Structure 1
Amino acid sequence: MLRAMDGVPAYIRNARLDLLAGNTLARALFAPIFNSPARPVNAARFTFLDPAAPAFYPDWDAVADQNVASLRAEAGRNPYDKALSDLIGELSTRGDTFSQRWAAHDVHRHTTGAKRLNHPIAGPITVHYEAMALAADEGLSLIVCGVAPGGRDADALSLLASWSIGNQTEPEPALGRQ
C-alpha cells in the first residue's frame, strides 16, 4: 500500500510514535528521523534525544508538546505497555525537557495539522498531515502528508522526490507486531 502511494509521503506509525515503515518519499522527507541511529525509529526519541531535531523542527517546542501529549494519551489507553513504559523511562532519564513536559499531564491525540520542517536537502517546507487508524491493526495509523500545489513547498517536495530516486533504500521491516 505504501509503495502504491508514491506521489505523497506516507508512513505507518504505532501509538508509541515508532515509525514502522514509510514509502520512499516519506523516508526522504523525514530522513533525519529515519536515519537517526537510535532504534526503533521513533519520533519522540528523535525529538528529545537527537541533536539534529531542533534544526529540523523550527517549531520544536510545539512538536515536543505534541509528542508528549500523544504518549500520555497512549499511556492512559494502554498503561501496561512495557515498550511504552521503557520509552517514557528512557526519555525521562536522559534529559529534563521531556520530564517537565510529562509532568504537565497534557493529553491529546494529534491526527491532523501542519508541520514546519527545515529539511537538510530541500530547506524549509510545511507539510499538512492526516493520520488514519488502520482498522485491521489496532494501534497503527497511516499518516499521509501533502503540500499545497504550486509554490515553495511543492517545489521542495518535488526536489525530494527527485533526490530520493537516486537514494532509495528499502524500509526496514518491522519485527513482529509493534
Structure 2
Amino acid sequence: MDDKSEVREFLTTRRGRITPAEAGLPAYGGNRRVAGLRREEVAVLAGVSVDYYTRLERGNLTGASEAVLAGISQALQLNDAETEHLFDLARRANAGPRSHRRSPAPRVRSSIQQVLDAIDNAPAWVLNAAHDMVAANRLAQALHAPVLANPRRPANTARFMFLDPAAKTFWREWDRASDDVAAFLRAETARNPQEEALTDLIDELSAQSEEFRQKWAKHDVRFHRTGTKKLTHPVVGDLDLDFESMEFPADPGFILIVYTAKAGTPSADALRLLTTWAATQDVENPEPSDRTASVTGE
C-alpha cells in the first residue's frame, strides 16, 4: 500500500468508528449514508475547511502543520499511539522520495547481552522493528522454546504467531496477542518505512495468513509497553506473566522486554520450574555456547 493509501485508510477507519453523539454533535433526523462522522463534521471539529480536510483524508498530508494534525487527532479522538502514527505518516509525506533499505543482520552490542545474562530470574529478550528475536537470556530462550523450534533464524515471533499452528496453544489469548502484534507492525511501518526486512515480513504474512490480512486491514496501531501475557509452555504449563518493554537510547530500533510473575502465584512457581528446566537443557545441549548466536543464527 502506498503512502497516500495508508493515510486515507487510517483516517477513514478512525472517522468511521465515532458517532456524532460521541463527538458531542447534534444528531439530525434522516438516514446517514456513512458510518461514524462525515468529513464535514470532522472538519468542523478540527477547525479546518471541508475542502482542506478532504484533501488530507485523500492521502495528501504534505505541508500539514502540527496544529492541524493536533486538531484532527482531537476531532477523531485518537489515542497517544494513533496520534503518534498520524504524525509519523505526515513526516513520511514530507520526506520526499526514498528507497528501501536492506536491514543489516540483527546484532546487539555485547554489553546488552551482558545485561540480559545478568537478569537470571526473569525472561529478558530484545526484538527489533520486524519482531526478530535478536538476543535473549537463558530463561527467555526456554520460555520461547516453541518459537525457537523452527530452525529459521533470526527467530521471529510475528511469523510464528501467524504462520505456525502451535502459536494458538502458546498464547492462550491468541486473538488479543495477534491484534497487538499487527498493531505494533503497523506503527513500525510508518516509523521505519525504509526497513526492507519489515516490509518483507509484512508481504510474507499478508501472502500466507488470512488472519493477518484481516487484522492488518483494521489499520490499528498501539503502544506495546506494558501488560500481561497468558502463555502455555509445553513443559511447565500455564504462565500469566507481566511484561515491561523499553527502548535502548543508544540503540534505536532495539526494544528490551522483561517478563515477571507476581510473587506467590502459580505462575511464579512455574517460572522457577522453567529456570530449572532451562539449566537442564543447557547441560544436555551445551552448543552453541553463544546465546546470542543461538537466537540470531550468527
The TM-score range, normalised by the shorter chain, is: over 0.9
Give secondary structure in 1 for the equivalent of 2:175: helix
Q: State, as a whole percentage, how many aligned pairs show the same letter.
A: 45
> Are 1:16 and 2:136 counterparts?
no
Matched, 1:106 2:237: no
TM-score, with length taken from structure 2: 0.57
Task: Tell me if 1:146 matches 2:266.
Answer: no
Secondary structure in structure 2 of the residue aligned to 1:114 = strand
Retained in 2: the 8 A contact 1:112–1:128?
Answer: yes
Alpha-carbon distance in 1 for matches of 2:187, 2:270: 33
Q: Which has the higher helix share?
A: 2
**Residue in 2 that maps onto 1:122:** 236
| 1:27 paired residue number | 141
Determine if the alignment matches structure 1 residue 44 to structure 2 residue 164.
no
Tell me, which stretches of 5 or more residues in structure 1 are unaligned?
A: none
Q: Is the 8 A contact 1:13 1:19 kept in 2?
A: yes
Do the aligned partners of 2:153 and 2:297 also contact (CA within 8 Å) in 1? no
Partner of 1:69: 183
Residue pair 2:154, 2:297 contacting (<8 A) in 1 also: no
Q: Report runs of 4+ in structure 1 exceeding 6 Å deviation.
A: none
SS of the residue aligned with 2:256?
Answer: strand
SS in 1 for 2:155: coil
Letter in 1 for 2:167: A
**How far apart, in 2, do the equivalents of 1:33 and 1:85 lie?**
21
Query: Which one has the bigger strand percentage?
Result: 1
CA distance in 2, matches of 1:47, 1:93: 15
2:278 to 140, 164, 175: 164
Q: Which amino acid aligns with 2:154?
A: P
TM-score calculated relative to the size of structure 1:
0.94
2:269 counterpart (155, 158, 176): 155
Instruction: Count residues in correspondence.
Output: 176
In the aligned structure 1, how far is the partner of 2:145 from the partner of 2:297?
21
Query: Post-superposition shift, 1:132?
Result: 1.1
**2:132–2:155 Cα contact (<8 Å) kept:** yes
Q: Secondary structure at the match of 2:116?
A: coil
Aligned-residue RMSD, C-alpha: 1.4
